[in-house]
Amino acid sequence: MTVAVSAWRQVRGRVDQQADFGAGHRWLELRVTAELEPPDPGQFIQLLIPSHASGAFLPRPMSVASVRPLRDGLMLGFLYVPIGVGTHALAALPAGAEVEALGPLGRGFPLDRPGTPVLVAGGRGVAPLLFAAESLARLGRRFELLFGARDRAHLVGLDEARRRVAGRGRLHLSTDDGSAGIKGTVVEALDRLSPRPDHPMVIHACGPHAMLAAVARWAAERRVTAWVAMESVMACGTGVCRGCPLARSARGRAAFGSQPPSLLGNRDYAMCCTEGPVFDSRDLDWERIE
Amino acid sequence: MTVAVSAWRQVRGRVDQQADFGAGHRWLELRVTAELEPPDPGQFIQLLIPSHASGAFLPRPMSVASVRPLRDGLMLGFLYVPIGVGTHALAALPAGAEVEALGPLGRGFPLDRPGTPVLVAGGRGVAPLLFAAESLARLGRRFELLFGARDRAHLVGLDEARRRVAGRGRLHLSTDDGSAGIKGTVVEALDRLSPRPDHPMVIHACGPHAMLAAVARWAAERRVTAWVAMESVMACGTGVCRGCPLARSARGRAAFGSQPPSLLGNRDYAMCCTEGPVFDSRDLDWERIE
Amino acid sequence: MRAPSRKSREPKVDLSVRIGPMELRNPVLTASGTFGYGDEYAHVVPLPSLGGVITKTVTLEPRAGNPPQRIAETAGGMLNTIGLENVGLLRFRSEKLPRLRSLGAVIVASIGGETPGELERLLGALGGEPGIAGFEINFSCPNIARGGARYWAVPRRLERTLARLRPLTRGAILAKLSPDVTSVGDLAIACEQGGADAVTAVNTFVGMALDLARRSSKLSRATGGLSGPAIKPLALQRCCEAARAVRIPVIGSGGILSGLDALEFMAVGAAAVQVGTASFIRPRAALQVLEEMEAFLRERGVRRIDDWRGSAMPSGDAVDEDPGRKPGLRAVTIVRADRSPRNRRGVRSPAFSRGRESRRA
Amino acid sequence: MRAPSRKSREPKVDLSVRIGPMELRNPVLTASGTFGYGDEYAHVVPLPSLGGVITKTVTLEPRAGNPPQRIAETAGGMLNTIGLENVGLLRFRSEKLPRLRSLGAVIVASIGGETPGELERLLGALGGEPGIAGFEINFSCPNIARGGARYWAVPRRLERTLARLRPLTRGAILAKLSPDVTSVGDLAIACEQGGADAVTAVNTFVGMALDLARRSSKLSRATGGLSGPAIKPLALQRCCEAARAVRIPVIGSGGILSGLDALEFMAVGAAAVQVGTASFIRPRAALQVLEEMEAFLRERGVRRIDDWRGSAMPSGDAVDEDPGRKPGLRAVTIVRADRSPRNRRGVRSPAFSRGRESRRA
Ligand SMILES: Cc1cc2nc3c(=O)[nH]c(=O)nc-3n(C[C@H](O)[C@H](O)[C@H](O)COP(=O)(O)OP(=O)(O)OC[C@H]3O[C@@H](n4cnc5c(N)ncnc54)[C@H](O)[C@@H]3O)c2cc1C
Ligand SMILES: Cc1cc2nc3c(=O)[nH]c(=O)nc-3n(C[C@H](O)[C@H](O)[C@H](O)COP(=O)(O)OP(=O)(O)OC[C@H]3O[C@@H](n4cnc5c(N)ncnc54)[C@H](O)[C@@H]3O)c2cc1C
Ligand SMILES: Cc1cc2nc3c(=O)[nH]c(=O)nc-3n(C[C@H](O)[C@H](O)[C@H](O)COP(=O)(O)O)c2cc1C
Ligand SMILES: Cc1cc2nc3c(=O)[nH]c(=O)nc-3n(C[C@H](O)[C@H](O)[C@H](O)COP(=O)(O)O)c2cc1C
Ligand code: FES
Ligand code: FES
């Protein structure tokens, strides 16, 4: 697992371009300076819009959906949905606008674990998994990508996903209305991938809370490890403000054991921004997370 | 004098285009819906940027620099300098961005007074006088336009000014460093226009406070009427908040007389947004205005 | 529920509220000093459609107000030091009132005085005036040298003054409170016991902003009153505190820009709300607040605003009680509701019990 | 003055300030709870370059903090209800302190207790610890069930508690005050008389924000503390009020994002400032505040921060005195400085007289 607790920096970024991406989503390409360490899949960035151009006060956390090296920095891709003041301000930025980028933050998906990576994406949760798929493909590893949404139109990033699995992975679609792939949820799609003892699977999931909870249940019943990318309201993104706790399960408390409380959290609560956003699903108390 | 106290409306506007205009100035073209009454020269608009796209809270007052009728509304031109949070947010808006426009507000230049209109512009104060020049030219009236700035580069809108005086007016330039027109201030340029008893002049001025005060002194000494466009920090722009008082002179108090206090102000203070922004320079107490 | 055809067929939401003797069509009022004498915005806001119009605070004598600079923008808000510029009692009565009556507004006249005696004279002069539904007593102006928020932040003084004012009118008496006190609840209780029909929580918060170049206040006075969205979370808490302390209605004020903002205040117990600074930004703000409020309630199937009111009253363990508090004090801060003196006497505040019901529903 | 060559040759501005026994390199400290235990930002902020690092409030026992949701953004600010999550006294002493010492920071340890006794035990344990320059006593946490801001908003309790704490350390004692009181000046005077070396004005303001869909607080508790630029005008006024009430230094806190913000606090009398929420937005915020402050002073030819301090103290007619105030009370609000009890005794507060001098210059 990547531990990047204090490799982060805050650097200048500039909107290279952004565009509608279908079903209310946006794709943003942000050019950042070279002091930013290249993020890993599942890590996130705190995007800060200059105060004159945004009514939002705090930076907004966004998963990295793609990384491209540039001569003098990185081009970061983000897939997001404008829902409130911060994301609407982001959506209104023209090419050339400045955005400060703080990162890379948190711990990403442990893609190096033995077993076949099964990437499970729900809706805009596909963002970090597009990045994960690309990484796996680059490493020459086989993987499965399950992608579910309400309907075909909400399978946003489908073309990207197709391109990234090409040759290396298999793409399994599911929609609630059956307009693409199987009719049903991603969990039903998971059912169709019967785990084979000789080829254990490791799930890496991101999506709406209810989906992650269902994935966690599914995995627990089958003794499959599931890594889930969580969200929380955040202020600092760096473990300092203690604003983003997620309640640990008994297993999580035991795993934390007698470690001293730290940036990662304390025995009762893990900080989403430092210990997460990616967690072993068994370590969280799903009853106490809304 | 135009009294437009309650003809104002708040309407939707859309940035048609905006661009750098030299020496840190911007020219903005804003398309507004037809419910907005066409403004007169000297009147202003309260521009409100949607809260997600601006850290500014209150709308920002801007003089109208040009008006062009459209089939279904008006195209308003503004000449402005980004100095703080609100104007920087304005400058960051791409074409298509929404801006609410409240107006037309206040009372403009009384261009219909007998005598030769002498328009005196300092720096960005040229904005409403470009509009005044255009109106006068359209009415076929002769006028003088005195335009002063620090140096040639700061004679922003000079081409516009040339175009608008064409045929009808005379343009007199002055710069502090002599890089264009006479070397000196607009008041020194005024000195060269000797008032002729048979052709009385009426000054209409807009510019930095110090310039307006000098114009007021100049005019008072020569018994010339000078109308000056004032500024004040504003909240409502409509006379309601009582936030924009300007102290009256003894003459101003006498002129206000025993009128009931009203949207326009009270015996001691005139409201810049309703009684102004254009005032007879003799009615204000220049000692008590910063 | 999502089909627009059904929605439009749904019955209107009953927004009517009662504030003492006033029966208001809806709970949206304009805040004093932000809507002039009521007629200034009449060409864009049909006044009868509002719950009521609270006029600029009137004093015995006309006031020219403080010198400029009177306002300064701050993050998410504005400071003002208008200094109660107003036309004075006589002109208010002879010129402003008739015009406002003719526009069909429900009128609440705001009055301000430097002493209890001044308030008595004002209410004596206006208390029987036809067409005034109620009076808001401005006990909380932060911007005047005498008789401002500090002077009135003394529970006993409030109670005694209100007791003297009470007989002077059959109209509603609203007491408008300053937030800059240790316990708004204490002030609210004093107002209730003095005979007020309602309290308004809250007026502006005292604040400062400097012009560093001049090394002095941006305003012509050292301090001003802060209003706007910046204070909304604070005003909401004070409103909640007041609503838990008294049985009389509480009217929320502070940073309300939208119908959702207004519904937050009502959810913590406010019976009505005031729209202030928002009107400077959008002259039609009060109307928009009303429309958004109604749309929100209709969409959620809430038939009467009364069912919404108090529906998010906190359950009580929010802020600690002061264990060292002398038992003789009538203080209720934001403590457990069922321990407040009212409730100890077995009387539940209407806001609170209504809240309970709708949570059960 | 404008030529950069000259400017770079100009001498450095003397930013050093004295807070009780502490001699600080400069007046910029990090605010408790917003900079962790000091080491979390050390890879981007060289700690010795700051005036000091105030650590997260430590309690006797470790605390896990309140359940989520702990934060909510509001206009220009944020509410938090962290609930004093901290490692507890023992781990603070054995793990955090040594690390912080090794980084060369000037350490101010923040401690919090539910009773005077708890504070005594904490200070007893830490008061002689090497490498701690001072202690900030958190008398103002709005987010805990017991021993929070309301409990400590009682002048006598503050004074007595500080008198008990005073003998337990030779380090500086800073008393951090809540703004949610009628008179911060009264609390500041109590702290001064109890023996504090300085007061910090102010902690967060208590506020609320609702989630309308759930009809409940956005936070896991009903209320939280508001911080950030939204509160700056209010914090500035309270800081000014405290600075006028006492002779001991006042440390400003609340909404400081920039060097100019910090200079506003110092212009109304603060001896130093704290950078809080700003660090969440820009981890290097405290350093940036320092750099901007120095650049501003240098550009204006101000050689020593002491010449700036108090230079915009209001002249006194800002907010009315309460004429009904009992003369026995030590209250000084933001009234005429030369009428405050201190000044009646002929002693000018250093902040005030310095302000005068620099205005004369
Ligand atoms: C680690 C992480 C990765 C994320 N990646 C993505 C992504 O790739 N694409 C995407 O579209 N969204 C992503 N989100 C969610 C995104 O941060 C929120 O949609 C955004 O913060 C909402 O801000 P707003 O101002 O538009 O909405 P508002 O509701 O106005 O925000 C108000 C406050 O709530 C917080 N907030 C609201 N919703 C969320 C949420 N779901 N998670 C965290 N904070 C929230 C905001 O930070 C802000 O402080 C991610 C969140 C986290 C924590
Ligand atoms: C009637 C009128 C007409 C104007 N016309 C023009 C114009 O044509 N072109 C142009 O560039 N500027 C014009 N101005 C000035 C313009 O409104 C200010 O530059 C602008 O408000 C500054 O806002 P800001 O957020 O960028 O600056 P900030 O300093 O961040 O603004 C802070 C606050 O101060 C107020 N403020 C600051 N400076 C001024 C000022 N000079 N006048 C009024 N309020 C101020 C703002 O409204 C705001 O509330 C006009 C002002 C008035 C009153
Ligand atoms: C410019 C201005 C003038 C005000 N004048 C008065 C007044 O005369 N009387 C009064 O009781 N309140 C006055 N207020 C306070 C408002 O009525 C309201 O209580 C306060 O602004 C908080 O609400 P808001 O944030 O919605 O504006 C004034 C507020 C502003 C901004
Ligand atoms: C998330 C958070 C946690 C805080 N924790 C503490 C704390 O433990 N002790 C304390 O005295 N103040 C605490 N504060 C208050 C700050 O130290 C500071 O006084 C306050 O936030 C106002 O300053 P600001 O606006 O610069 O943040 C905390 C503030 C925030 C936002
Ligand atoms: S967001 Fe600050 S600790 Fe996680
Ligand atoms: S800006 Fe409100 S009265 Fe002029």
Q: Which of C297, C237, C209, C361 is nearest to C26 (CA)?
A: C297
- Within 8 A of A20 by CB-CB distance, chain B residues are none
- For the segment A271-283, the average pLDDT, to the nearest whole number, is 97
**Burial level of D234, CB count in 10 A (0-12/13-18/19+)?**
buried
pLDDT of amino acid B195 = 63
Which A positions 169-228 lie with beta carbon below 8 A of chain B? none
From C150, C208, C237, residue closest to D268, measured CB to CB: C208
- Chain C residues within an 8 Å CB radius of B238: 40-41, 283
- What does pLDDT average to over chain A? 93
**CATH placement of domain B9-105:** 2.40.30.10
- For residue A90, what is the nearest residue in chain B, using CA coordinates? B53
What CA–CA distances, in Å, run from A238 to A5, C21, D218? 7, 55, 22
- A109-229 folds as Rossmann fold (3.40.50)
Domain ranges of chain B: 9-105, 109-229, 234-290
Burial class of residue B33 (count of CB atoms within 10 Å of its CB; 0-12, 13-18, 19+): middle
Q: Residue A2 in contact with residue A43, Cβ under 8 Å?
A: yes
Tell which one of C35, C110, C152, C277 to mutate to probe ligand 3, the residue whose CB is within 8 A of the most ligand atoms. Answer: C277
At B258 the pLDDT is: 84
| Ligand 1, atom nearest to A277 Cα | 1
Mean pLDDT of the residues in chain D: 86
Question: Which atom of ligand 6 is least distant from the CA of B271?
Answer: 4
**Residue-level pLDDT at B197:** 65
Q: Measure in Å the smallest separation between the Cα of D191 and chain A Cα atoms.
A: 28
The answer for C 208-267 residues in CB contact with B (under 8 A) is: 228-229
Given a contact as 3+ CB pairs under 8 Å, which chains touch C? B, D
* Closest-lying ligand 5 atom to the alpha carbon of residue A263: 3
Which residue in D68, D48, D119, D52 sits closest to D89, CA to CA? D119
A43, A57, A60, A242: residue to mutate for ligand 5 pocket, most atoms within 8 A of CB:
A242
When pLDDT is averaged across residues D339-352 and rounded to a whole number, the result is 32
**Range with the lowest mean pLDDT among B75-89, D3-17, D256-270?**
D3-17
pLDDT digits (tens, 9 = 90+) for A114-152: 999 999 999 999 999 999 999 999 999 999 999 999 999
Residue B82: other Cβ atoms inside 10 A: 16
Best of A52, A234, A242 to disrupt the D interface by mutation (most D CBs within 10 Å)?
Answer: A242
Residue positions counted in chain D: 361
Please tell me the distance between residue B235's alpha carbon and the centre of ligand 6 in angstroms: 6
Mutate to test the interface with C, among B8, B47, B57 (most CBs of C within 10 A): B57
pLDDT single digits (tens) D124-163 = 999 999 999 999 999 998 877 777 888 999 999 999 999 9
| Residues B88, A55: C-beta atoms closer than 8 Å | no
Average of pLDDT values for D55-72?
96
Q: Among this protein's residues, is D240 annotated catalytic?
A: no
Q: Which ligand is nearest to the CA of B79?
A: 2
pLDDT at A165: 86
How sure is the predictor about B75, in pLDDT bands with cuts at 50, 70 and 90? very high
Q: DSSP E strands: which ranges in D40-165?
A: 52-54, 71-74, 77-80, 107-111, 132-138
Centre of ligand 5 to C-alpha A238, Å, is 6
Residue-level pLDDT at B169: 86
Residue C3, pLDDT score? 43
* ipTM of this predicted structure: 0.94
Gap from CA of A123 to ligand 1 centroid (Å): 14
B83 lines ligand 2 (CB under 6 A): yes
Residues of chain C with pLDDT under 70: 1-10, 315-361
Q: Do A289 and D68 touch (CB under 8 A)?
A: yes
- Helix residue ranges, H only, chain D: 4-9, 88-91, 97-102, 116-126, 149-152, 155-165, 184-194, 232-245, 259-267, 278-281, 285-299, 305-308, 341-344, 350-360
**Closest to B51 (Cβ–Cβ): which among A55, A94, A97?**
A55
B and C: number of Cβ contacts within 8 A: 107
How far apart (Å, rounded) are the C-alpha atoms in residues C143 and C145?
7
Q: List pLDDT tens digits, range B209-224.
A: 999 999 999 999 999 9
Q: How far is D124 from chain C (nearest CA, A)?
A: 24
> What average pLDDT score do residues B51-65 get?
95
pLDDT of B95-106, one tens digit each?
999 999 999 999
Question: Among all residues of chain C, which has the CA nearest to that of B60?
Answer: C281
**Predicted confidence band at D38 (pLDDT cuts at 50, 70, 90)?**
confident
* Among B232, B239, B240, beta carbon nearest to C68: B232
Q: What is the C-alpha to C-alpha distance for residues A169 and B140, in angstroms, rounded to an integer?
A: 76
Pocket-testing residue among A238, A263, A264, ligand 5, by greatest number of atoms within 8 A of Cβ: A238
Question: What per-residue confidence (pLDDT) applies to B168?
Answer: 83
Helices and strands in chain B: count of H runs, count of E runs? 6, 16
C57 Rama class: left (phi>0) / alpha (psi -120 to 50) / beta: beta
Task: Output the CA C225–ligand 3 centroid distance in Å.
Answer: 8
Contact B189, B146 (CB under 8 A): yes
Of all residues in chain D, what percent carry a pLDDT higher than 70? 84
- The Cα D334–Cα B161 span in angstroms is 53
Q: Which of A237, A238, A269 sits opposite D65 (nearest CB)?
A: A269
Answer yes or no: is pLDDT of D344 > 80: no
The answer to whether residue A210 scores a pLDDT higher than 70 is: yes
Q: Which ligand is nearest to the CA of C53?
A: 3
**Contact at CB, C40 and B239, closer than 8 angstroms:** yes
C138 in contact with ligand 3, CB cutoff 6 A: yes
Residue type at C320? D
Q: Which residues contact B80 (CB under 8 A, 6 or more apart)?
A: B25, B26, B28, B62, B87, B90, B124, B127
Structure confidence by residue, pLDDT tens digits, B177-230: 999 999 999 999 999 986 666 778 999 999 999 999 999 999 999 999 999 999
Residue B31 pLDDT exceeds 80: yes
Identify the residue among A48, A52, A90, A98 best suited for mutation to test binding to B, counting B beta carbons within 10 A and taking the highest: A52
Residue (of D84, D151, D82, D81) closest to D114 by Cα position? D151
Of B234, B240, B290, the CB nearest to C40: B240
Contacts with C64 from chain B: Cβ below 8 Å: 266-269
D320 contacts in C (CB within 8 Å)? 144-148, 150-151
Span B270-286, pLDDT tens digits: 999 999 999 999 999 99
A60's tokens = 């907004």
Closest CA to C289 of C245, C225, C232, C250: C232
Chain-chain contact of D91 with A261 (C-beta, under 8 angstroms): yes
Distance from the alpha carbon of residue C331 to the mean position of ligand 2, in angstroms: 46
B283 CA → ligand 6 middle, Å: 19
B102 touches chain A (CB under 8 A): no
User: Tell me: the pLDDT tens digits for B128-174?
Assistant: 999 999 999 999 999 999 999 999 999 999 998 999 888 788 999 99
**Are the beta carbons of A266 and D62 separated by less than 8 Å?**
yes
C-beta separation of D265 from D293 below 8 A? no
